[in-house]
Amino acid sequence: MNKGTKIAIGTVCAVLLGAGGYGAYDLTGLAGSSSASSTPTPVTVSSEPPTADQAAAGAKAFLDAWSGGDLAAASALTDQPGQALTALTAFKTKLNPSAITLVPGGSATPASSAAPSASASASASASSGATADPGAPASQVKVGFSAKVEFATTGNAWNYAGALGVVKMSNGKTLVHWAPTVIHPHLGTGESIGVAPIYAPPSSVVDRNGKSLKGFASLDQLLGSFNSQAAGNPGDAGQGVVITDDSGQKPAEKLFTVTDPKPGKPLSLTLDAKVQAAAESALKAHASGLQGSVVAIEPSTGNILAIANTPASYNRAFLGGLAPGSTMKIIDAAALLEAGISPSATMPCPETITVNGNTIANDEKGAFPNNTFTQDFAASCNTAFIQQGMKTLTGSQQADTAKEVFGLGPVWALGLKINPAKIPAPATPNQRAADLIGQGTITMNSLAMASVSATVQNGTFHQPILVPGSKQLPADRTLSGSTLDALRSMMRQVVTSGTAAGVSGLPSGTGAKTGTAEVGNQAKSNSWFTAFSGNLAVAVEIEGGGHGADAAAPAAAVVLQVGNKG
C-alpha cells in the first residue's frame, strides 16, 4: 500500500523576449501627433552583424568606461543597461580592486563571429570551464580582451582572458551584448564573483578511529571541501577571488589567490571507515546503475558515520531534494500519537479516498475497514493516513512536528553544503493530502531521513555533524516516553509483519519505514527506506528503484549488518 498516488512535480519557466528575440535597449518615439504615431518603437538587436571595425570600436568604448570606473557609461554601452549596471557594480563592490586594466585584443572565447550551436557551446564549456551564453544572438561578433585586476593587499595581479559579443541594434548603434560571461568567462546566471576567505586543504583526513578516508569514491571529492575552517581554525584563512552559486547548491570555484592561507592541519571526522565501506558496497550492489544515496548516523550523538552517493561526483545525500514517500509517515504517526490516537485504535483503510475531486488509491487492492493504526502504519495505507490526518491534525501540525521534534527545516552547519528538508504548511486540501503521504510539496534527502530514524531511536534529536565537537542546533521539544515507545514498536512491525517483512538481512529488532514516491513521469517509483538498529540509523534513497522494499531496504540491510561498533 505504500506506493501511493502519482504526483507530478515540475517547473515551467516562460521568458518573454522583445522583437528579434532580445530585450529592448531603449524606446524611440516616432514623429507626428496622431495616437498611432506616438506609439514608441522598441530598439532591438539587428540580424545584421557589425563590421569588424564597428565591433572593435564598441568593445573598446565599453572596456574603457569599465576600467575607468564609469560603470553607468559602460552599462549604457550594452543592450541590457540595467542588468549590466547591477552586475558591474556588484563586481566592483565584492572585489574592491585597487585598479582594473582592460585591453581589447587576444583570442575571443569561443573564437567565432557568430554564436555557436548549443552542442558546440556545451562542448566548449566542458573543455575550457567557460560558461555558455544560450541567449547569445547569432549576429554578434566576439571580441577578446585581457584583464588585469590589482589589489591593495598584494603585489600579485590577477590576469585573465575575457571575451564579449558586440551587436548592431536596429537603430544603427553598436553595443555590447550583455551576459554574465562579459565579466568573466566562467561566470553564469545565478552566480556571483567576489573576494572571500579561502583555506588550505587538511594535511590528512581520518575517521573517528584514526583510519585514513582516502580511496572511498563517494568521499574523494567531498573531502576536498573540508578545510581549516571546518576544523575550527578560521584564523588560518587567506583571501581569494571565487565564483559562488547564489543558491548554495554548487561548491565555490576559486579563480585567484589574493593572499595565501596557512598550511592545512590534520582533520578527524565522525565517519567510520567500516560503515562507509558498507554504504558504498550497498549502493553498488542494489542501485544497479541508478542514482542514489546512503547516510548512516549514530543516534546517541548525531555523528554521521557514512555518506555514499552514486554517482560519486554529486553529494545527493546532502544536496538532494526529493519527495520521501511513505517514510514521511513516521512524522505523521508521531503527530497522530501526540494527538491521542492509540496504536490499537481502529483506523479504516479504504481502497480509495477522494479529496476535493482527486481520487487517491492504495497500491494494494481492497478495503480493510478493521485495520488498527499500527496495521495501517506497517502496511503503509495511504488512504488511512490521509483520512485520519485530515480529520485529526491541523493544517500545519505535520510541518510543526517535523521542525519542533525532528529538527527539520533549519540549515545544519556540517562543513559541507546541504539542502535542508522542506515541509511547508499545505495551502490546499489536495496539497495536504499529498503531504500526508510524503509527496506534494515536501522534499527530503537521505541525510534528513536518517536523522528522523535516529531521533526515534534515541528519543532526542541530535543534529547530524561531521566534525567532532561541532555546535548542534537543538530541537524545540521531545516526544513523551509513551509516544516514543509506541512509535518504535510500530516501526518494528514494519519489519516483522509489514512492507519490509520480506527483506532479508535486517538485524533482529530493527525498526523501519519503507517509502515509494511517484514523481513526474518516471517509469518506476523512487525507492526509500529508513531504519534503526542498536545505536545506528540509516536512510537510503534510490531514484527509479521501485518500491521501498525493492532496492533501498536491501541496501540499508547491508549497512545495518555492519552495525556501530566504534
Q: Residue 451's domain is classified under what CATH number? A: 3.40.710.10
| Domain contains 74 | yes
Beta strands at 99-104 and 41-42: parallel, antiparallel or unpaired:
unpaired
Where is the domain boundary, 250, 268, 286?
268
- 384 and 417 in one domain? yes
Whole-number pLDDT of residue 36: 46
Report CA-CA distances (Å) from 58 to 103, 173, 228, 386: 13, 9, 46, 63
In tens, the pLDDT along 334-351 reads 999 999 999 999 999 999
| Domain contains 234 | yes
Whether 90 shows a pLDDT value over 70: the answer reads yes
In the structure, what pLDDT confidence band is assigned to residue 233 with cuts at 50, 70 and 90? low
- 285 and 262 in one domain? no
8-state DSSP, 563? -
Whether 7 shows a pLDDT value over 60: the answer reads no
- 8 Å CB contact between 541 and 449: yes
Where is the domain boundary, 221, 237, 268?
268
CATH number of the domain that residue 163 is part of: 3.10.450.50
AA identity, residue 302: G
| Domain contains 360 | yes
- DSSP, collapsed to helix, strand or coil, labels residue 313 as coil
Question: 221 is in which domain, residue-wise?
Answer: 198-268
Mean pLDDT over each residue of the chain, to the nearest integer:
87
Whole-number pLDDT of residue 129: 53
8-state DSSP, 444? B
Where is the domain boundary, 229, 248, 268?
268
8-state DSSP, 512? E
Number of structural domains (the chain) is: 3
- 401 and 536 in one domain? yes
- 8 Å CB contact between 171 and 58: no
Whether 91 shows a pLDDT value over 70: the answer reads yes
| Domain contains 12 | no
Whole-number pLDDT of residue 364: 84
- 353 and 301 in one domain? yes
Of the candidates 187, 198, 189, the one whose C-alpha atom is nearest the C-alpha of residue 243 is 187
Q: How many angstroms separate the CA atoms of 405 and 402, rounded?
A: 6
| Domain contains 494 | yes
- 248 and 223 in one domain? yes
- 233 and 92 in one domain? no
Q: How many angstroms separate the CA atoms of 321 and 278, rounded?
A: 24
In tens, the pLDDT along 406-450 reads 999 999 988 888 999 999 989 999 999 999 999 989 999 999 999
Whole-number pLDDT of residue 220: 86
- 330 and 314 in one domain? yes
- 182 and 86 in one domain? yes
In the structure, what pLDDT confidence band is assigned to residue 201 with cuts at 50, 70 and 90? confident
- 442 and 293 in one domain? yes
| Domain contains 33 | no
- 488 and 457 in one domain? yes
Whole-number pLDDT of residue 317: 97
| Domain contains 20 | no
- 291 and 440 in one domain? yes
| Domain contains 421 | yes
* Beta strand spans in 304-361 (E): 304-310, 352-355, 358-361
- 144 and 235 in one domain? no
Cell 549590466 -> residue: 84
Instruction: Please report, for the chain, how many H helices and E strands are present, in that order.
Output: 15, 18
